[in-house]
Amino acid sequence: MNNHIKSMLKTLSLGLIVSLALLSCKEEASIQNYFVTHQDKPEFLTLDLSPNMINISDVNLNEEQKEVYKSFKKVNILAYKVKEGKERIFTDELEKAKAIFKNEKYNELMEFSSNGMKFRVNTVGNNDTVDEFLVLASSSDLGFAILRVLGEDMEPERLYQLISAMQNADVDGNQFQKIIDYFK
């Protein structure tokens, strides 16, 4: 081969390697990536809750509800509070979160409004079992929060029954108090 062809092949190979490296570094818009890039920012509140923070010993759960409880692994919460003079940042961050929720890998379960709050619930998994529930709650007065419920083969109907049964459970209020205080 002549030097011109060798040089051209070398350049093409280098270009291919650089392109592949750039593509592999490209982060797909996901809730997980959003959490990771925002968790250390001082304007965001981040909480991680585990099932250990809920004492179910006083709750009468049947075997099916106990099984559902065991499928639940943790909840991640990321919140952003609207601050005076920072409304534009709030709007930009909320739009980023909404765009992620529209990602085709997240299945929309429902969308509704209540008392000035808008909610969007998405899932990751198939129709029968879910490995992740995602909730985006927002209010133009308060801010927004993303809840990420991680588990293994959670069933939406059974999870709802468990939540209903656990209304009287002893929950570590300190974690939830942080969220309430943050939005005051």
- Which of these, 10, 31, 8, lies nearest to 144 by C-alpha position? 31
Q: How many CA atoms lie within 13 A of 107 on its CB side?
A: 13
Residue 4 pLDDT greater than 60, yes or no: no
In tens, the pLDDT along 104-131 reads: 888 888 898 888 889 998 888 876 778 8
In tens, the pLDDT along 23-33 reads: 333 445 788 89
Q: Which domain holds residue 64?
A: 31-182
Number of residues in the chain: 184
In a domain, 35, yes or no: yes
The span from the CA of 177 to the CA of 36, in Å, is 23
Q: Are 132 and 108 in contact (CB under 8 A)?
A: no
In a domain, 1, yes or no: no
In a domain, 22, yes or no: no
In a domain, 113, yes or no: yes
In a domain, 19, yes or no: no
Total domains in the fold of the chain: 1
Helices 87-101, 31-38: axis angle to 10 degrees equals: 150
The span from the CA of 168 to the CA of 161, in Å, is 13
Query: How far from each other are the two terminal CA atoms of the chain, in whole angstroms?
Result: 73
Q: Please tell me which residue, 60 or 3, carries the higher pLDDT value.
A: 60
